[in-house]
Chains A and B, each alone.
Chain A
């Protein structure tokens, strides 16, 4: 059996804000087609890690390799053009535009207009938003905005999708649908999902990386992670000795 190619790799990645080390010496490796969950308590450095991957922050140490090429320090739009898409924690959408226009903007980069138009209808139906397609996004409910952002990310067709708390603020039914959608996306794309909801992580069942105080604490399957005493300590508030 041949080993899958490494898609994303971080080497000793670090980010320091003054005296605070938000991310420290993180060595992370994601293979092509993988779905990885990233968990950790508040302040573990998950969002900072995503910001480093997407060019929002310049690492203070280490580097990020995408398909073997160093992308640390690249601009956000350059990272996106290389094939990394992100759904942020707080939905980042074009509020003054309609849902259809939001997806069109994502679909039209690098594609002929006709193909972009076709994709808009496909994505709208995939995220079940055809009925509110012409509604101004600023007026949509939180769950709908979360789904729309996911649709925007899908329309850009990135190779690697980063999802920062995709199920936050959703109803149980929406969470189940989101998990289904993520599994479906994973058939053709690689994903890194940051999430707090353990039930949700179980639904998408994958390898899990636990971050704590900016460092990788442990990397294992979900079943083993749940049994892991140090992880339980971290989540219950009992700190692990450094």
Chain B
């Protein structure tokens, strides 16, 4: 576009440099400053941020409300675990963990997009699919449920999953420090890769289809094909995150397909800002950090009683039905509600709007151009 700004996701050089510098700084600095336990916490945030980016692409730019992104995340984790127990060397399991969810997404997407399923039903179908996977995998507890050497384990999941190794060297597995490096490098690669995609012809058309599918069709673009490609890529990225997640905990269980996990991904995107890439990453890391903090903060009814008095604390806990007011789901629900009502565009787009408002105030009135469209970060 002659170097001009592209609203659907342009090369915002300042933003790219900022992300690059922060990414490089974190890659070098965090292992130096943090203990292994803290580094492990950060690693899972990075892995989940890749998952957040997959929905940022599918929903934020593709306009496809996928309630079941966790299906591909879980498939990636299970594919890696099962393949690892059978193969032993991680190159093929790693590839399978990306390819299998992508193929599954392509098949599901084919029936949804070519079957002209409307947006609302698309959300319902994707949610149903992940819940079916949850229930199916949950019922595989007996020893008869195995794929090759890998026992599926039902609701107990698959423990002691062998870690990734350097490609071709099964005798040199990645340690936890290595996993941090792999995760941050892959997160940055996914982020910059998606930024490139968004300024490519494909990305621009994808955003145009999100804006007006009918008009795109009148111009000769097959919206179904673009949506299918976007959905498949989203499935592949979620699968990659699933593989890393299975490595991080050396464990995978059916809860990975659960409603809670699905809802959480959507909350990350809503809080961070739909139509941006950095927003869902920020939303994911912030919410995960908050969830972890709530889990350790001991914010119980007793501590609340010290602040508001025992009567109000009693009333609150009985009205809400929770003995422990640190209930994470309650807090996440409240955050979601607050954002939908008060900051509907999400944190990053709202901050960008504020920054633009300040800049525009300094410009002469005739220079004002609309900068409201999202998607430059």
Residues of B within 8 A of A95 (CB): 211-212
- Asked whether any CB of chain A lies closer than 8 Å to the CB of B215, the reply is yes
CB contact between B215 and one of A108, A120, A152 (< 8 Å): that residue: A152
Are B220 and A97 touching (Cβ within 8 A)?
no
Select the stretch in A59-67, A99-107, A216-224 that faces chain B: A99-107
Residues of B within 8 A of A113 (CB): 201
Which A residue's beta carbon lies closest to that of B205?
A: A105
Are A105 and B218 touching (Cβ within 8 A)?
no
- Asked whether any CB of chain B lies closer than 8 Å to the CB of A75, the reply is yes
Are A80 and B214 touching (Cβ within 8 A)?
no
Residues of B within 8 A of A109 (CB): 219-221
Select the stretch in A33-41, A133-141, A185-193, A234-242 that faces chain B: A133-141
Which A residue's beta carbon lies closest to that of B212?
A: A94
- Asked whether any CB of chain B lies closer than 8 Å to the CB of A18, the reply is no
- Asked whether any CB of chain B lies closer than 8 Å to the CB of A15, the reply is no
Chain A nearest CB from B276 CB (Å) reads: 13
Select the stretch in B1-9, B98-106, B137-145, B256-264 that faces chain A: B1-9
Q: How many inter-chain contacts with C-beta < 8 Å in the A-B complex?
A: 95
Chain A nearest CB from B365 CB (Å) reads: 14
- Asked whether any CB of chain A lies closer than 8 Å to the CB of B217, the reply is yes
| In the bound complex, CA of A90 to CA of B287 (Å) | 42
Chain B nearest CB from A187 CB (Å) reads: 23
Chain A nearest CB from B246 CB (Å) reads: 38
CB contact between A77 and one of B204, B210, B211, B223 (< 8 Å): that residue: B223
Which B residue's beta carbon lies closest to that of A114?
A: B2
Residues of B within 8 A of A77 (CB): 216-223
Chain A nearest CB from B190 CB (Å) reads: 24
- Asked whether any CB of chain B lies closer than 8 Å to the CB of A98, the reply is yes
Are A134 and B4 touching (Cβ within 8 A)?
yes
CB contact between B219 and one of A75, A117, A139, A152 (< 8 Å): that residue: A152
Extra 17 A-B pairs, beta carbons < 8 Å, given A96-B207, A97-B7, A136-B370: A54-B218, A76-B218, A77-B219, A77-B220, A80-B218, A80-B219, A85-B219, A92-B215, A94-B215, A96-B373, A97-B8, A97-B207, A98-B370, A101-B8, A101-B208, A105-B216, A108-B204
B residues contacting A by CB (< 8 A) are 1-2, 4-8, 201, 204-205, 207-208, 210-212, 214-223, 369-370, 372-374
Could you show 13 A-B contacts with beta carbons less than 8 Å apart?
Answer: A54-B218, A77-B221, A92-B215, A92-B218, A94-B211, A95-B212, A96-B210, A98-B5, A101-B8, A105-B208, A113-B201, A134-B369, A136-B7
